[in-house]
Structure 1
Amino acid sequence: MKLFSFSSATTGVADEPGRPASASRTRVLWLACTAHALHDGYTDMVYALLPVWQADFGLTYGALAIVRGVYAGTTATLQLPAGRVADIFGARATLAFGTFLAALRYAVAGMSGTLVGLCVALAISGCGSSTQHPLASGAVSRVYGRNARGPLSIYNFSGDLGKSALPAAISLLITVMPWRHALWAVSSVGFVLAAALALFLPSVPRQASSVEDASSHSGNASRTGFSLLFTIGVLDTAVRMGLLTFLPFLLKAKGISQPVMGTALALVFIGGAAGKFVCGWLGARMGAIGTVLATESGTAALILAVIWLPLGPALVVLPLLGAMLNGTSSVLYGTVPELTSVDGTERAFALFYTGTIASGALAPVAYGLLGDRIGVNAATIATAVTALAVVPLALGLRRYLRRA
């Protein structure tokens, strides 16, 4: 399978024998980051468009849920098949075509006049977006080898930039032009990026270049380690999505106004973006397990602080809470390549992303039902307990890592 390449200039290490040169690695890093930003931005643009579609098509809330669910479902279920397609056609071609499909979604949606048409457009986009996470993550880990943690944190952080920029851009565009024209304008960006990926994304060999790049454990041990990592990722995502479900209600109970509510949530998301960037580098320098223990313990403590503190102090800790909530993910993504063979990198990332996406969809439902039974405060405390449940799993994972 043909894959992409990233730069050691970013990591501050010398080129490894058998690895692509620094310039090629840099080019792949930024192309993959751009792809991540675009795909994640396309995903969150749906939220900005739902009210527009509801007004234009007369959709019920149930129909809007279907519209959103079609995209999330196809993206989650096609992560693994995307890796198999890449085995046949090459990762560069598969990612470029996936980006083309994601852009086509908004072009088709701009021509649609029915709910069925919208669902078809979102299904097309879900097929395309399913390629991005496993293939781009696998590319980063392949070209950087044992130095991949830092670049993977940059890659992870770039998705948050897209989530911030594209929904804001589409919200602005639909104030100055019809929403269909706005969608065509945004889709054109995706078509340009698809062409850039096809033309300029370097290829790297699939083979391991050194013994150090391969998993240092037997197959069974690596599978056990990956299972622990997968479980940690699922629980970490559940904590994040569960807390975000309850946070507005916790703040409302403290007397927050609606305008300040928006600011409070922005503080969490800004802190989360910073946490993704910083914690990936901390994991590379301080060790993955120590960083995970710090972020999960910090998450639990800060969740309890937000519950019991008055409004003012609670707002002060929100950026740090966001950093702890999101920071673990960069460490976990950087650990995936250590627990799989070189040939299984894309499949491992596909499995990991499938689990976290599914957890993100199901956790708010589970915690919401729990909140109905025991109340918002108690259910929020349950998210803190879930974060602490990661601690023994992380300690168990230590023995499977070369550098914990």
Structure 2
Amino acid sequence: MTEPSAAAAPSVSSPSDKSLRRRSLFAACSAHAVHDGLTDVIYVLLPIWQAQFAISYAMVGLLRGSYSGMMAGFQLLASRLARRWGRERMLVGGTALAGVAYLVAGQAGGLGVLLFALLLGGLGASTQHPLASSIVTDTHEAGGGVKEALSHYNFAGDIGKTLIPALVGLLLLVCSWQASVSLLGLLGLAAAGLLWWLLPKPGDIQASQKKALKPIAGSGSAASFRALLATGTLDSAVRMGFLTFLPFLLKSKGAGTAGIGVALSLLFVGGAFGKLLCGYLGARIGMMKTVWLTESMTSLLIVAALWLPLAGVMAMLSLLGLALNGTSSVLYGVVPELAAPGKREHAFALFYTGSIGGGALSPVLFGALGDHTSVPTALLALAAVLLLTLPLAWKVQRGLAHGGAS
């Protein structure tokens, strides 16, 4: 993983500082890729588990929600425990716990053990987002390029979401799901060992922060942070809601199973590069302009998808994915600027909890709307809800401007 360029850093960083940033960014990106891959590979395994244990769709939803629910619910606790035990130790331990959870799942002979393993895995995964994000922020503060570094970190998560489920899908062709899941457990343990080796010591990070000529002094603006949290929650809610309805929209336009798979791939590829590119764009033109651009484009393209024929929808899906996923990188980059002094981990934990929670609730709420009306109506509602992020972004920008002026 190449190191992002320093943004307007007036001094030349020492080789040791550059090595610290590279190691920290590579470690955080590795953690993000592995954890996001372990989270999303559950989608591949759910149909197999349903057939294996003869469970209902409600229980399938419970299995999926158990992992993501634990991950979202314990992020705040992970950020608090990190102050006592250290971020690096917590991140390594959480990654190892996720690996152990998959090893347990690989030995599951009944539904109870499988559910326990998924709850355990979600608990381990809760350490990743808030702690890895704050480590990237702290290590890049002296050399600049914090927002660009966070966009690399965000991009790495999508790489994991793409590669690990695909590899498991191939493994399932030649071995049992138990063997495949056990290999995922070994991957988690190997990732924990890599993190233990790569992550810098807390003293090195603190020494690097002291060299920052213009450290990121979080404004601690509660109102602006609430606006940022609401923006992230709505953005995630619309993203997950759209992903839920897209296959049904494509099917109504005549797409088959293969066509839907290609469409989702186009959307995800565009989304991955959107996370990388929009982080850089936000650092250049500012948060508000970037959010207005990406969210307005997303809303318009969702509406366009309703009226375009299948070929037109397929042609614009990569662009839609870029805008749909790109906003998140811009929002992540603003979290350190609004966090209260000394509470970056807590701020990241709050932000990720809101985003994951919004993404989890959206398919349920808008799915109910789709049941009572229609899929196009639900998609129009999603496009309208997304426009609420525009005034919220203006509110966030005001907080950033006041913080910079103080």
Partner of residue 71, structure 2: 75
Tell me the distance in 1 between the aligned counterparts of 2:381 and 2:394.
Answer: 21
Tell me the distance in 1 between the aligned counterparts of 2:30 and 2:218.
Answer: 32
Deviation at 1:342, TM superposition (A): 4.1
Tell me the distance in 2 between the aligned counterparts of 1:19 and 1:344.
Answer: 29
Partner of residue 389, structure 1: 388
Partner of residue 329, structure 2: 330
The one-letter amino acid of 1:257's match is G
| Residues 140-160 of structure 1: per-residue CA shift (max 9 Å, x gap) | 111112531000000001001
The one-letter amino acid of 1:166's match is I
Partner of residue 31, structure 1: 27
Identity %: 46
Tell me the distance in 2 between the aligned counterparts of 1:216 and 1:93.
Answer: 25
The one-letter amino acid of 1:348's match is A
Is contact 2:240-2:359 (8 Å) kept? yes
Is contact 1:82-1:130 (8 Å) kept? yes
Deviation at 1:211, TM superposition (A): 7.8
Deviation at 1:252, TM superposition (A): 1.7
Tell me the distance in 1 between the aligned counterparts of 2:225 and 2:48.
Answer: 42
Which of 96, 120, 143 is residue 92 of structure 2 equivalent to?
96
| Residues 304-355 of structure 1: per-residue CA shift (max 9 Å, x gap) | 1111111111211111011110000000001100001341100000000000
Tell me the distance in 1 between the aligned counterparts of 2:28 and 2:209.
Answer: 21
1:144-155 to 2 correspondences below 5 Å: 144-145=140-141, 147-155=145-153
Deviation at 1:167, TM superposition (A): 0.8
Describe the shift of the 1:70–1:206 C-alpha distance in structure 2 as closer, same or farther (beyond 3 A).
Answer: farther
Which of 212, 215, 234 is residue 213 of structure 1 equivalent to?
215
Partner of residue 236, structure 2: 237
Is contact 1:213-1:342 (8 Å) kept? no
Which of 103, 106, 119 is residue 110 of structure 1 equivalent to?
106
Higher deviation after alignment, 323-332 or 20-29: 20-29
Partner of residue 3, structure 1: none
Tell me the distance in 2 between the aligned counterparts of 1:187 and 1:268.
Answer: 29
TM-score of the two chains, using structure 1 as the length reference: 0.93
Partner of residue 362, structure 2: 363
| Partner SS for 1:176 | coil
Partner of residue 265, structure 2: 266
Partner of residue 225, structure 2: 226
> Are 2:402 and 1:400 equivalent residues in the alignment?
no
Tell me the distance in 1 between the aligned counterparts of 2:79 and 2:213.
Answer: 24
Higher deviation after alignment, 152-161 or 265-274: 265-274
Which of 4, 11, 24 is residue 5 of structure 2 equivalent to?
11
The one-letter amino acid of 2:395's match is G
Partner of residue 155, structure 2: 157
Partner of residue 354, structure 1: 353
The one-letter amino acid of 2:54's match is G
Tell me the distance in 2 between the aligned counterparts of 1:200 and 1:303.
Answer: 42
Partner of residue 87, structure 1: 83
Which of 199, 222, 231 is residue 201 of structure 1 equivalent to?
199
| Partner SS for 2:380 | helix
> Are 2:37 and 1:41 equivalent residues in the alignment?
yes
Tell me the distance in 2 between the aligned counterparts of 1:50 and 1:182.
Answer: 13
Q: Where in structure 2 are there 5+ consecutive unaligned residues?
A: none
Tell me the distance in 2 between the aligned counterparts of 1:396 and 1:369.
Answer: 31
Which of 125, 131, 134 is residue 127 of structure 2 equivalent to?
131
Is contact 1:103-1:191 (8 Å) kept? yes
Describe the shift of the 1:114–1:313 C-alpha distance in structure 2 as closer, same or farther (beyond 3 A).
Answer: same
| Residues 161-211 of structure 1: per-residue CA shift (max 9 Å, x gap) | 001111111111122122222222221121111112123311312996358
Tell me the distance in 2 between the aligned counterparts of 1:306 and 1:64.
Answer: 30
| Residues 62-121 of structure 1: per-residue CA shift (max 9 Å, x gap) | 222221121111111000000111111111110000000011111001111111100111
Q: Where in structure 1 are there 5+ consecutive unaligned residues?
A: 1-5
Is contact 1:106-1:186 (8 Å) kept? yes
Deviation at 1:258, TM superposition (A): 2.3
1:276-295 to 2 correspondences below 5 Å: 276-295=275-294
Higher deviation after alignment, 358-367 or 197-206: 197-206
Is contact 1:57-1:113 (8 Å) kept? no
Q: CA RMSD in A?
A: 2.1
Is contact 2:139-2:208 (8 Å) kept? no
Is contact 1:289-1:394 (8 Å) kept? yes
The one-letter amino acid of 1:165's match is L
